[in-house]
Amino acid sequence: MTVTLKDRPIETVRSEVIDQLIMNYSHAELSYEAFERRLDQAMELANHQDLVDLTSDLPLAVDKAFVESKKQDLAPNYVGGETEELDYMVNIFSGSTRGGVWRVAKETRYLSIFSGTDIDFTDAQFSQEVVRIKMFSLFSGDTIYVPENVNVISKAFCIFGGIDNIAPSQSRSSGANQSSLNKPTIIIEGLSIFSGVSIKVRRSMKERFVELADSLKNIFS
């Protein structure tokens, strides 16, 4: 017996609709303008039927190969093998950025005094589900970038400082179709004195969907 549409999990329906939008755009069945408009709607709508109606006129269904490709492209970047226990970043009257493709240690410790420190996890490689950042920031401005499919927990203390955490603590699976149990968790601990620490997403899930769709379109064209 088929489960009625309204009784299905809304995020599962949303994921299927986004898959079909990407599939049809990548095969030139949708213009970019129509794809972007419908993608925005698919990520915001909260009604099952409204979501399904977004793809009712599209000719192409999603195949297994596409689902596997999407899962691989949008999942957190896990790599096997051992990783370092500790990683250090020290900035005094200076500034540095850790970014690009890099392997995340189990614990990263950074010291920032009259400085600016950027840590970018957008393309980082994770070897375990929980990693820690232990920080000490004094008269500094620091930024930590995280992917939208990574959980962030901030436990740091502030003295005449502030930590602005606008990253999701438990990311919504709007199309990624992945349980939060499988997402890396970054725990941030430490002390911020007369400093500002921003935790934010550099590339949104919508931007990642568009990048995936464009890459598939280049392949199929």
DSSP notation for 70-97: HHHHHS--B--S---SEEEEEEESSEEE
Instruction: Specify whether 210 is located in the same domain as 196.
Output: no
Statement to judge: residues 69 and 132 lie in one domain: no
Residues 137 and 177 occupy one common structural domain: yes
Q: Are residues 71 and 92 in the same domain?
A: no
Domain holding 131, by residue range, is 86-203
Residue 58 near residue 29 (C-beta atoms within 8 A):
yes
Flag whether 113 is in a domain.
Answer: yes
Both structure tokens of 79:
């790599």
Closest CA to 112 of 134, 93, 98: 93
Asked, for residue 185, whether it belongs to a domain, the answer is yes
- Asked if residue 213 is part of any domain, the answer here is yes
Q: In angstroms, rounded to a whole number, what is the distance separating the alpha carbons of residues 102 and 100?
A: 6
Over the chain (221 residues), the average pLDDT of each successive run of 10 is: 84 90 90 93 92 92 76 70 88 90 92 93 88 94 87 89 72 43 83 91 80 80 65
| 54 lies in some domain | yes
Dihedrals φ, ψ of 165, to 5°? -100, 100
Distance CA 156, CA 160 (A): 13
Domain-embedded: residue 169: yes
The answer to whether position 81 is within a domain reads no
Q: Are residues 212 and 189 in the same domain?
A: no
pLDDT for the residue 74: 67
Alpha-carbon distance 5 to 178, whole Å? 20
Whether 127 is covered by a domain: the verdict is yes
Total-model pTM: 0.67
pLDDT at 175: 44
Q: Do 127 and 40 reside in the same domain of the chain? A: no
Residue type, 165: N
- 125 and 147 share a domain? yes
Q: Taking CA 13 as the corner, what is the angle to CA 9 and CA 15, rounded to the nearest 5 degrees?
A: 115
71/129 same-domain check: no
Verify that 190 and 210 share a domain, yes or no: no
Please state, in angstroms and rounded to a whole number, the distance separating the CA atoms of residues 221 and 212. Answer: 14
Judgement on whether residues 182 and 95 belong to the same structural domain of the protein = yes
Task: Identify whether residues 108 and 155 lie together within a single domain.
Answer: yes
Q: Are residues 131 and 64 in the same domain?
A: no
H/E run at residue 145: strand 141-146
Asked if residue 202 lies in contact with residue 120, where contact means CB atoms within 8 angstroms, the answer is yes
Long-range contacts of 102-109 (CB under 8 A, 24+ apart): 103/79, 103/127, 104/131, 105/131, 106/131, 106/132, 107/131, 107/132, 107/133, 107/134, 108/132, 108/133, 108/134, 109/133, 109/134, 109/135
Residue 177 lies in a domain: yes
Q: How many domains does the chain have?
A: 2
pLDDT at 165: 78
